[in-house]
Amino acid sequence: MILFDGVLALLIVVLAWRCVTAGDLYLGIVVFIVMGLMLALSWARLDAPDLALAEAAIGAGLLGVLLLSTWRALPGHRRQDRDHPPARKAVRWLAGVASVAFGLVMAALLHALQPDEDAAGALALGRLTEAGVEQPVTAVLLNFRSYDTLLEMGVLLMALIGALLARTPLAPYGAATDDGTDSPLIPVLATTFTPLLLLVGAFLVWAGAYGPGGAFQGGAVLGGAGVVLVLCNRLQGAPEAGILLRLLLVLGVKVFILAGLLMLPLEGAFMAYPPGLTYPIMIAIEFCLATSIAVSLLLLFTGTHGVRVPER
């Protein structure tokens, strides 16, 4: 197995090297996506199936699609490299030397690092029964360190606002025109893959309570379903969002905050769940989070305030 790990690690390094130095921007993006595949594999090897799922769905999957679509939307995307050459040779050498030194130091440190036995994580594993779910990562995300997760939902919301304010939608509002490039395959893809993605996404959210999965992985897959619909022209960007869509966007963060504030007088601490109700509250929060994540990621992809079904 060490040989397998070695080849895997070597491939990751080669891919990362090509990704940052590729002569062609498109090549860099392709290599980045493939590197995502390899990373997910290596994380699976490192006993982190949750993270392999997240990398597959968010890191390589959705981000890869977004990178490709953005590249295609760039004006004159073929001559990006001519217009933006890398830094001068002297800078490159200096940066190269500095980064090699940095890498060697980090490698030496990581080689010598010995985490100790009474880490916070051991504590988390030991008190799992109090957390309400069997899956340790979910317990940390939604109970022990739920505050981080809550703030992270705020990050997602603000990133969305920022993307909207740039006003460069990937899915423009104009009426859908059939420009004759519709392949007969497109309806098939839309009707086959959307339900599959929805099903798998919902399953992953629910599975998060007892096995790998959770709101983020599931939400990303659900968002992927929306992306397929947009790509296949079944959904379209809209300049305005209805109240329902905005409600879904903030559902996760709002339910989270309100639940937390409600616990303040009841249990004496923000987000301290009352014993006995921990599991149902966490599942409810998880589904709300997944919904908001799915809608946010979809709108981050389209870059529009809302989406609508095109009129035909």
Report the chain's C-alpha Rg in angstroms: 22
Minimal distance in Å, beta carbon 244 to other proteins?
A: 11
Cβ atoms 216, 291 nearer than 8 A: no
Minimal distance in Å, beta carbon 24 to other proteins?
A: 8
| Residues in 34-73 at the binding interface with other proteins, rule: CB under 8 A | 34-35, 37-73
- 222 near other proteins (CB under 8 A): no
Minimal distance in Å, beta carbon 200 to other proteins?
A: 6
φ, ψ for residue 236, nearest 5 deg: -145, 150
- Cα separation, 265 vs 256, in Å, equals 16
What are the C-alpha distances in Å from 74 to residues 70, 168, 214, 220, 299?
A: 6, 10, 34, 25, 19
- How big is the CA angle at 32 (ends 221 and 162), to the nearest 5 degrees? 60
| Residues in 107-126 at the binding interface with other proteins, rule: CB under 8 A | 107, 109-125
Minimal distance in Å, beta carbon 84 to other proteins?
A: 4
- 241 near other proteins (CB under 8 A): yes
SS3 85: coil
- 202 near other proteins (CB under 8 A): no
Q: Is 129 or 167 the residue whose CB approaches other proteins more closely?
A: 167
Minimal distance in Å, beta carbon 290 to other proteins?
A: 12
| Of 129, 183, 184, 311, the one binding other proteins by CB under 8 A | 183
Q: List, in sequence order, every residue forming a beta bridge with 17; answer none if it has no partner.
A: none
- 10 near other proteins (CB under 8 A): yes
Minimal distance in Å, beta carbon 23 to other proteins?
A: 11
Site string for other proteins, 142-181 (x = CB under 8 A): -xxxxxxx-xx-xxxxxxxxxxxxxxx-xxxxx-xx-x--
- 296 near other proteins (CB under 8 A): yes
Minimal distance in Å, beta carbon 291 to other proteins?
A: 14
Cβ atoms 271, 147 nearer than 8 A: yes
- 29 near other proteins (CB under 8 A): yes
| Of 188, 196, 277, 284, the one binding other proteins by CB under 8 A | 196
Q: Is 216 or 287 the residue whose CB approaches other proteins more closely?
A: 216
Q: From the CB of residue 94, how many other CB atoms can be counted at a distance below 10 Å? A: 12
Binding residues for other proteins, total number by CB under 8 A: 200
What are the C-alpha distances in Å from 13 to residues 6, 136, 151?
A: 11, 30, 33
| Residues in 268-287 at the binding interface with other proteins, rule: CB under 8 A | 268-273
Which residue, 223, 222, 226, 246, is CA-closest to 236? 226
SS3 46: coil
- 298 near other proteins (CB under 8 A): no
Minimal distance in Å, beta carbon 292 to other proteins?
A: 11
- 212 near other proteins (CB under 8 A): yes
Tokens standing for residue 309? 């079904």
Return left, alpha or beta for 180; rule: phi > 0 is left, psi -120 to 50 is alpha, else beta.
left
